[in-house]
Structure 1
Amino acid sequence: MTPRLSVTARTAGPGVLPPLRPIPLGGTGPEDVVVDREGRVITGVADGRILRVRPRGPVHVEEIARTGGRPLGLEVLPDGRVLVCDAERGLLRVTPEADADAGSGSGSGSGSGGSVEVLTDRVAGEPLRFCSSVAAGADGTVYFTASSRRFGHQEWLGELMERTATGRLLRLPPGGGEPEVLLDGLDFANGVVLAEDESWVAVAETGAYRLTRLWLSGPRAGQRDTLVENLPGFPGSLSRGMDGTVWIALAGPRPRPLDWLRRAPGGVRRAAWRAVRPLPIRPRPATRVLGIGPGGRVRHDLRRRRAGYRMVTGVYEHDGMLILGSLLEKGIVVCELPGRA
């Protein structure tokens, strides 16, 4: 079995994240970011809109659809359609507004020009709650996560504090059907990414500060191990770069009080959540992303303190740039990608 690798043991040293250029969107919380075949950034915001904008040049934001819920993780398909994990409506497929005339879906939903189709909103008869992140294989297989079976997306902090470990990694076969549970008992299942050869799929366990890997083919098919552990912050969305780098958005550093609380008895954790639930969330104004190789070795550790951009939950590499999204901010940011190690 591949040995577990610790970020703190393998990182040569941090690098400075280049200056961030903001792109305002007119909406809050672009949690994930992806890029389509035309080089345009696609993201979803808190009011349910799916937006499209070019990362360079004059800012022109297009609304391509509305999900009617809260879009989180995204994946662009080869035909231009977009998979959307909607925390309230389930796993969706969106045909962007400019392409809706192609009639590629029988969509149902509240699209704003673009069509919105529900692929699945239940797992084994149970409503799909807190659908979070998604990745698609070359054959059309869809891998996606549900972060919690108890808490909804608006109470994500409750999941971190109470540590219910009810997250799941799911698989939807090509052409649809019933989702299959691949991994259960995950500690706040979040980002998901496939290896370049699709021999494995990795999922971020935000509450455990690690990436858990499931082998899909080869002699280890069906086995589960740890791709990287002991991360220095909360891993959010994952994406794969041009050279196979797995990019990890770190939503915030590890707070010592929370580390202590998560080791406390369940009654203490529940009481603590009840106490802080009405309080506002104030994440630190720091920005950090990691890039690791397929074996878990750290290639990039990029950070910028007091960047003015908080709670990075999405990261995507494109055309020599890094594009970042946030659960809280009112736009995305882009920066140049430093030279690869």
Structure 2
Amino acid sequence: MATISLLSVIVAILSTFVVVSSQFANFSKIELPQGITGPESAAFRGLLLLIDGPYTSVYDGRIIRREFITGRFQDFAYTAPGRNKTLCDGTTDPDMGPICGRPSALSFSPTTDLLYIADAYFGLLVAGPLGGLALQLAGGYKFVTGVDVDLTTGNVYFIDASLTYDIRDTTQPGCKPDSTGRLLCYNPVTNRVDVLLTGLSGGGGPAVSRDGTYVLVPELTGNRISKYWLAGPKVNQTEVLLNNVGNPNKIKRAERFGEFWVALSVGFIPPTPLITPQGVRFDSNGVVLQTVSFATQFFNKTISVVLDENRKLYVGSRFTNFIGVYSN
């Protein structure tokens, strides 16, 4: 009994050490090519030592990919048919979005190697392994903000943030966020889109659990994260998982099973004098496990995504020219 008790104490101490020491105190930048800004998303293709990326969507409408050997970015895909590189590359004009595209979120399907893309203007699209012009799967939306692939079924979940305003309206004086957002599901077998939830307050990026039993839904202006059940005794039911969490944007699965990271921009809406960007790791029961501040490197800026990959955090923002990388 004494041996078991001692072992339990040692395990507890080691567990505490892991949590305390994993504060991601080391910071570096992945600089974007000159003249390119707004890495709002981050995604890797492949597994373990074979991962490729990061891939990121940028302000001027492109999805670009970082080469492993050279560390340089190359164009990978784009969402706007007829996009003119001379006209669009490097643009920061918000009115060029409907012409050049404005991809906001990425999610790879590990079984098909397809890249699913959420574009604010062009809806849900998909690009093959070689990239190029992405194929539109579902369009006609005002403001698509996030996407995630179910690892078990291949279904694709995405969010349309509003029925009344688009991404340009959010920066206009007097814009009042509404509650007309929706969670949608695209079935790649039937090519059908179903509406699962309505009345969402703001957009963000959903995240499906690794076992496909539920999808987490952020509400950027509603300051909460909900769990929508896809299977089990609570199928098609919704419950609030985290409330008053500080403008949650995209949610991503963490490397640990049953855990997630969410990008927060505390003080964004309603606006305060100082925005505090941070990443929060939490579990499937809504228990907050860790909070990491990004305030020094992303001072007073909103962030869009916190991606947990190979024991590093990749942080994206539409207001920078780099992807932040935090490690231990």
- Give the TM-score category using the shorter length: 0.7 to 0.9
Q: 1:87 aligned to 2:116? A: no
Which residue is 2:136 aligned to? 118
How far 1:227 moved relative to its partner? 1.3
Which residue is 2:28 aligned to? 21
User: In 2, Cα distance between the equivalents of 1:89 and 1:81?
Assistant: 18
What is the TM-score when the length of structure 1 is the normalising length?
0.76
- Residues 159 and 41 (structure 1 numbering): CA distance in 2 closer, same or farther, change over 3 Å? farther
Q: How does 1:141-220 map to 2 (within 5 A)?
A: 141-157=155-171, 162-220=176-234
Q: Percent identity among equivalent residues?
A: 27
- Residues 289 and 116 (structure 1 numbering): CA distance in 2 closer, same or farther, change over 3 Å? same
Which residue is 1:300 aligned to? 290
**Secondary structure of 1:190's partner?**
coil
Moved more, 170-179 or 201-210: 170-179
- Residues 36 and 136 (structure 1 numbering): CA distance in 2 closer, same or farther, change over 3 Å? same
User: In 2, Cα distance between the equivalents of 1:328 and 1:321?
Assistant: 21
Moved more, 72-81 or 304-313: 304-313
User: In 2, Cα distance between the equivalents of 1:162 and 1:256?
Assistant: 10
Q: 1:59 aligned to 2:80? A: no
User: In 2, Cα distance between the equivalents of 1:151 and 1:159?
Assistant: 13
User: In 1, Cα distance between the equivalents of 2:145 and 2:294?
Assistant: 26
Q: Find 1:222's aligned residue among 223, 236, 254.
A: 236
How far 1:44 moved relative to its partner? 0.6
Q: 1:48 aligned to 2:61? A: yes
What is the TM-score when the length of structure 2 is the normalising length?
0.78
Q: CA offsets, 1:222-265, max 9 Å, x none?
A: 1110111111x211111001113210011x21268549xxxxxx
Q: Specify the code of the residue in structure 1 equivalent to 2:293.
A: R
Which residue is 2:280 aligned to? 290
Query: How many residues are treated as equivalent by the alignment?
Result: 280
> Which structure has more RCO (C-alpha within 8 Å, separation ≥ 6)?
1
| 5+ long unaligned stretches in structure 1 | 1-11, 101-113, 122-126, 260-281
- Residues 283 and 176 (structure 1 numbering): CA distance in 2 closer, same or farther, change over 3 Å? farther
| 5+ long unaligned stretches in structure 2 | 1-18, 81-100
How far 1:197 moved relative to its partner? 1.3
Which residue is 1:334 aligned to? 325
User: In 2, Cα distance between the equivalents of 1:257 and 1:141?
Assistant: 34
How far 1:163 moved relative to its partner? 3.0
Q: CA offsets, 1:297-334, max 9 Å, x none?
A: 11110114332453211111111111111011112111
RMSD across aligned positions (CA): 2.6
Q: 1:254 aligned to 2:286? A: no
User: In 1, Cα distance between the equivalents of 2:160 and 2:174?
Assistant: 14
User: In 2, Cα distance between the equivalents of 1:194 and 1:70?
Assistant: 23
